[in-house]
Structure 1
């Protein structure tokens, strides 16, 4: 079970992860719409290993699907 669910936080069926390259390393912004939540973390790694990409995760209870918005 997900740690957020264990804490009593509701998880939306649609999750968005934005990965960005920063001077500090890899920035990851995790967000959802309902209930609204945003969480940001920066992992200090070399910029050569960082990526800039958005990933959508859709949970329909039976299956979870990860895709890039441009593939939708």
Structure 2
């Protein structure tokens, strides 16, 4: 089963640059897509943009994949918003959250 909750890993780069609450949120977005019956590509891409609205620090997350095409953007309140791209790759045995330059 793709993106199993049992075998998930996070790289050193993600640990250093993406707060743990945001990491959890990205995993939850994948789980939500699965629960809704969406077909998942082995590569899930999250574009993270810092957004400031009404004096609050917000994280804009755009979740995309290539096959089948999918894109959804939302705003969330997180502890430390960042401007980064995060990949989550499923190898069949485990899923890894990493920064593109760690590939």
**TM-score normalised over the length of structure 2:** 0.59
Q: What secondary structure does 2:82 align onto?
A: coil
Once residues 60 and 71 of structure 1 are traced to their aligned partners in structure 2, the CA distance between those partners, rounded to angstroms, is 16
**TM-score normalised over the length of structure 1:** 0.81
Larger RCO: 1 or 2 (CA < 8 Å, sep 6+) = 2
The count of aligned residue pairs is 70
More helix, by proportion: 2
> RMSD across aligned C-alpha pairs, in angstroms?
1.9
Question: Which residue pairs with 2:94 in the alignment?
Answer: 63
Gaps spanning 5+ residues in structure 1: where? none
More strand, by proportion: 1
Structure 1 segments of 4 or more deviating over 3 A? Answer: none
